[in-house]
Chains A and B, each alone.
Chain A
Amino acid sequence: MILAAEDIHLYYGDAQALDGVSIEVRAKEIVAIVGANGAGKSSLIRTIAGIERPRQGRIRFKGTDITGWPSHKVCDLGIGQVAEGRQIFPTLTVDENLEVGAYLPRGRAAKAEARERVYAMFPRLAERRSQYAGTMSGGEQQMLAIGRCLMGQPELIMFDEPSLGLAPTIVQEVFRVIERLNADGATIILVEQNVAVSLALAQHAYVLENGRITLKGTGKELLANDQVRQAYMGL
């Protein structure tokens, strides 16, 4: 088990976002988390990343209790994130965005190799390395967000809605990249509105509804589940 979140309760003021959520992620797996808008998927990601602080519950990563750790310490331990809406730095160049991704000690050591790897993986970024990130297309910005995350040498990468708002061909490329990163040894948590594709990719999956896990199983099991097919795939 590389990551275990147990009984996470998260509140924004008085509003409860997560109500006793527990998930487990094995090393080198892809784990999908599906659910409707507002079900708490992003809240779960942000809690694991240390951006939100749970009121109750435990988060363990590689045997270390990281509950309540600030995001910079969580990142430096090897949990990377490709956030919803990409969250790149628009007035920094592509190259500078990648540099900032390697600011923590964990990323700094292997910065040069990591940059070569990212530019080899995304040749478009290499072509645009001195361009301001905010002037690129949505697909290119998503590639940059992934590349910037890789600069930090994460062992676990959490993707939050990576296909949102992208053209279908780009969406396919994003999923190919995720598969490839997984094949290269990264553990993946994938939060996606594109339920069919993410369940097909995932070894294990969870369904989140109103801040609770209502179903869990292997990707195949959930893909065959009538409830899931009706609610999220319109079948």
Chain B
Amino acid sequence: MDTVTIINALVSGLLTGLVYGLSALGLSVIFGVIRIVNFAHGELMVLGMFLALLLFRWLGLDPLWSVPIGAALLFLVGYALQHFVVRRVAYLPDHMQFLLLAGIAIMLVSACLVAFGPDAQGVQLDYALDSFALGSLIIDKVRLYAALAAIAVASALLLFFKYSPTGRAIRACADNHLGAKVVGLNVDRLYALTFGIGAACIGAAGCIILLLVQVHPYLAPPYTLLAFIVVIIGGMGSLFGALLGGILIGVAEELASIVGEPSLKTAFSFALLIVVLLLRPQGLLGRAVR
């Protein structure tokens, strides 16, 4: 195996990984603030993918242009999910909350099966096979565009949390739940917004990843698992950690596919997860629990 192949794989993995990172960002935001593990993560992502697919079929819309629509729609879905459902089980033990979300996940997969059937479906873009050549380095156009879109959405999210009053208020809720009530923050509303924002990230990631992957309902559980791995590697609740974890998994998958069988890529991801858990159980950028 020559260096060029490896470098090409690294770049390709990095670009795909940014999309994984964006998706995992959605999981991380929801967990970091509301402390609920969103077991319907992959399902929300698949909803975003199907939405982009429909918009492509009906209007000929490039999935990249579907990103704002997918984000807005999934925001509403996430907000409603927290406001009408998850909030009402917040007093129950963790495993009961997980069961609820796992149940919602099953419902969503079944609904997608009814609506779209079990077959893999994708979009045909006229630039799908184009690539940029930098010397011997070849970068797929779709992959580059997907990565740029993921960076744009992730940056918007990070800026929102850093500088906007509502972003700050959400961080305050995550930091000290009682303290948030003491200063009169409407914690219930901010939680619903947070779930909405997390879901919007996931929806955006779904639209973007349709550039690279064909969608079918059973894609959802593996995506949930993938996002869990990414977030655990990066560190639960750390936003930069989610992006870093995404990149590492993207690269690991690409390297797996040139080293051995492409089907080995999940094994590589889990191997990476095990190594991180052994060496740094709180994740690469996570804070140790005090």
**Which A residues are within 8 Å of any B CB, using their own CB?**
49, 51, 70-72, 74-76, 81, 83, 87-92, 96-97, 99-101, 103-104, 108, 148-149, 152
Bound Cα distance A89, B179 (Å) = 7
Taking a contact as CB atoms closer than 8 A, the residue among A70, A76, A87, A152 that contacts B179 in the complex is A87
B182 on the A face (CB < 8 A): yes
Q: Are B184 and A89 in contact (CB under 8 A)?
A: no
B165 on the A face (CB < 8 A): yes
Question: Interface segment, B3-11, B13-21, B170-178?
Answer: B170-178
- Chain B interface residue count, CB cutoff 8 Å, equals 16
Residues of A within 8 A of B185 (CB): 72, 100, 103
Residues of B within 8 A of A71 (CB): 181-182, 184
Please name the residue on chain A nearest to B171 by beta carbon: A92
Q: Are A149 and B175 in contact (CB under 8 A)?
A: no
Q: Are A88 and B179 in contact (CB under 8 A)?
A: yes
Taking a contact as CB atoms closer than 8 A, the residue among B169, B176, B178, B179 that contacts A103 in the complex is B169
Q: Are B183 and A51 in contact (CB under 8 A)?
A: no
Residues of A within 8 A of B176 (CB): 87-90
Q: Are A91 and B186 in contact (CB under 8 A)?
A: no
Bound Cα distance A221, B182 (Å) = 32
Residues of A within 8 A of B57 (CB): none
Determine chain B's interface SS by DSSP, over half rule: helix
Please name the residue on chain B nearest to A96 by beta carbon: B168
Residues of B within 8 A of A87 (CB): 176, 178-179, 182
Residues of A within 8 A of B181 (CB): 49, 51, 71
- Other A-B pairs, 16, CB within 8 Å; known A75-B183, A83-B178: A49-B181, A49-B182, A51-B182, A71-B182, A72-B185, A81-B182, A88-B179, A89-B172, A89-B179, A92-B172, A99-B165, A100-B169, A100-B172, A100-B183, A103-B185, A108-B165
Kindly supply a per-residue 1/0 record for chain B positions 235-263, scoring 1 wherever the CB is within 8 Å of any chain A CB and 0 otherwise: 00000000000000000000000000000
Bound Cα distance A14, B172 (Å) = 31
30 A–B pairs (Cβ distance < 8 Å), ordered by A: A51-B181, A51-B182, A71-B182, A72-B184, A72-B186, A75-B183, A83-B178, A83-B179, A83-B182, A87-B178, A87-B182, A88-B176, A89-B171, A90-B175, A91-B171, A92-B171, A96-B168, A96-B171, A96-B172, A99-B168, A100-B169, A100-B180, A100-B183, A101-B183, A103-B169, A103-B183, A103-B185, A104-B184, A108-B165, A148-B183
